Copies of this chain bind each other. A is one copy, B any other.
Amino acid sequence: MDILVENVAALLTEQGFTVGTVESATGGLISHMITSLPGSSNFYKGSVVSYSNEIKSNVVGVNGGDLTRYGAVSAVVAEQMAAGGRRLLGVDFCLSDTGIAGPGGGSPEKPVGLFYLGLSCREGTYSREYHFSGDRSTNNQTAARTALGWLKDYLSGEWIPGKLQR
């Protein structure tokens, strides 16, 4: 069993919080990692895998103008995915990701390995930019573990929204 998932699960259960995800590049991997843990339905409510722009806007509520203006792989969209998912799924925390896992889809402005992660909680909605350098599978695994690690940092008090970074 995955020790990171077990630690997040223990913290969520202890504090009585629920979580959901809105995934793009990771394509359901975060959800799969969490639900591999027996009993995860006690704190995990579900996910939208918004692999297309239509699902990002029609289901999750990402602004269509922002998708055009900033592109699907952007901080703005990661934040709207997390905030929209928190509302839609009715959870205390929503994690999101949008990125270019590769091997295709990269450009000079947005190269393979560029990821934005989002986290929405009662204090607000936050995003972080990452540049991963692995292959498709490794980039997605790293993104998933980084998102779960961010939530763990919040739950363990190692990261305080608005204090240490935006």
- Listed in ascending order, the chain A residues whose CB lies under 8 Å from chain B are 21, 23, 26-32, 34-36, 38-41, 44-52, 54-55, 58-59, 88-90, 102-104, 136-137
Contact = CB atoms under 8 A, between A and B. Distances in A.
Number of copies: 2
Nearest to A50: B46
23 contacts: A21-B49, A23-B28, A27-B34, A27-B44, A28-B29, A28-B30, A28-B31, A28-B32, A31-B31, A31-B32, A36-B137, A38-B102, A39-B104, A40-B51, A41-B52, A45-B55, A46-B50, A47-B47, A47-B51, A49-B49, A54-B90, A59-B88, A59-B89
Interface of A: prevailing SS: mixed
A35 B28 contact: yes
Contacts of A58: 90
The 7 closest A-B CB pairs, nearest first, are A27-B35, A28-B31, A28-B28, A47-B49, A28-B32, A46-B55, A46-B51
Contacts of A41: 51-52
Contacts of A52: 41, 45-46
A54 B59 CA distance: 16
